[in-house]
Amino acid sequence: MKARHDARGKPRVNLQAESFSLSSAKTYLGRLMEKAARGEIVYIVRGQRRFILQEVPPIDPIPVRPPGYFASCYSKAEIQEENRLAKASVVRAPKDLE
């Protein structure tokens, strides 16, 4: 005897609920994302752990600094001293390895 399918095509998961198992969340992920986008709380349960699905606001881009932005931060003597110390702190590979 063959199993009959539901003629109405209704999902077997109640999408009005707040909590969903991981397997049903994977099946209906698109619909759950739409629900979360509307501001509704969606919990995904895996064993004893619960996770929340929510929309993240867009991140503001980091502004580009104009040329010379840090020009007044260091004096010429400080820059030369930092460059001299940086050259001395580099560990060079032994010449016999090349």
Write out pLDDT tens, residues 55-87: 999 999 989 988 888 888 888 899 899 888 888
Tell me the pLDDT tens digit for each residue of 23-56.
Answer: 999 999 999 999 999 999 999 999 999 999 999 9
The residues with which 42 forms a beta bridge, in sequence order, are 53
Averaged pLDDT for residues 11-15: 73
| Coil, helix or strand at residue 30 | helix
Contact, 25 vs 31, CB < 8 A? no
**Cα 3 from Cα 25, distance rounded (Å):** 24
pTM for the structure as a whole: 0.51
Q: Which residue(s) pair with 45 in the sheet?
A: 21, 50
Largest CA distance in the chain: 90
State mean pLDDT over 4-23: 74
User: Which residues 6+ apart lie within 8 Å of 27 measured at CB?
Assistant: 13
Q: What are the sequence ranges of the domains in the chain?
A: 19-53
- Does position 22 have pLDDT exceeding 90, yes or no? yes
How many Å from the N-terminal Cα to the C-terminal Cα in the chain?
Answer: 76
